[in-house]
Amino acid sequence: MIIIKFGGTSVQNEEAIGRVISIVSGKLKEKPLVVVSALAKVTRLLCMLAEEAEAQHEDGVKDLLRQLRERHFNLAKNLLAERPKLLENCLQDVERLISDLETFVGGVCMIGELSPRSEARIISTGELLSSTIIAYAFNANDITCHWIDARRMITTDDHYLYARPDLEVTEANIKRIVGLESRGADLILTQGFVASTDKGVTSVLGFEGSDYSAAIFGMALDAERVEIWTDVDGIRTADPRVISHTGKIDVVSYEEAAEMAAMGARVLHPLTIEPARKKNIPIKVLNSTNPECEGTMVVRGDQAPDGPKSIAFRDGILFVKVTSDKLEGVTNMLGKVFATLYPRRIPVTLSGATESEVCLVIPEEVGGFKEAVEELGSWASVTVFRDKALISVVGRGIVGFEGIGDKVIEVSGKVHMAIMSANMMSESFVVDHDKLQVTLESLHEYVFKEG
Q: What is the pLDDT of residues 417-435, one digit of tens each?
A: 999 998 889 999 999 999 9
Rounded Cα gap, residues 254 and 234, in angstroms: 15
Q: Where are the alpha helices (DSSP H) in 264-344?
A: 273-278, 330-341
Query: Does pLDDT of 273 surpass 50?
Result: yes
CB atoms within 10 A of CB 142: 8
Burial class (CB in 10 A: 0-12, 13-18, 19+), 148: buried
pLDDT of residue 423: 87
Query: Does pLDDT of 267 surpass 80?
Result: no
Rounded Cα gap, residues 345 and 371, in angstroms: 12
pLDDT tens, position by position, 6-55: 999 999 999 999 999 999 999 999 999 999 999 999 999 999 999 999 99
Q: Which CATH number does 2-230 carry?
A: 3.40.1160.10
CB atoms within 10 A of CB 279: 13
Alpha-carbon 159 to chain mean position: 17
| Distance set, CA 434 to CA 318, 386, 407 (Å) | 15, 12, 17
Q: How many CA atoms lie within 13 A of 161 on its CB side?
A: 13
| Mean pLDDT on 146-153 | 98
Domain edges within the chain: 2-230, 310-450
Nearest 5°: the CA angle 441, 408, 309 is 60
Q: Tell me what percent of the residues of the chain surpass a pLDDT of 70.
A: 100
Rounded Cα gap, residues 272 and 257, in angstroms: 9
Rounded Cα gap, residues 309 and 317, in angstroms: 23
| Mean pLDDT on 99-116 | 97
Rounded Cα gap, residues 280 and 273, in angstroms: 10
pLDDT tens, position by position, 371-396: 999 999 999 999 999 999 999 999 99
Rounded Cα gap, residues 135 and 35, in angstroms: 11
b/e map 393-427, b = 16+ CB within 10 Å: bbbbebeebeebeebbeebbeebbbebebeeebbb
Three-state secondary-structure class, residue 414: coil
pLDDT of residue 451: 47
Rounded Cα gap, residues 6 and 325, in angstroms: 52
Residue 401's pLDDT band, with cuts at 50, 70 and 90, is confident
Residue 450's pLDDT band, with cuts at 50, 70 and 90, is low
Q: Give yes or no for a contact between 308 and 444, defined as CB atoms under 8 angstroms apart.
A: no
pLDDT of residue 268: 83
Who contacts 65 (Cβ-Cβ below 8 Å, separation ≥6)? 49, 98, 101, 102, 105
Specify the DSSP class assigned to residue 80. Answer: S
State the DSSP string of 14-34.
HHHHHHHHHHHHTTGGG-EEE
Total residues found in the chain within this entry: 451
For domain 310-450, the question of CATH label 3.30.2130.10 is answered with yes
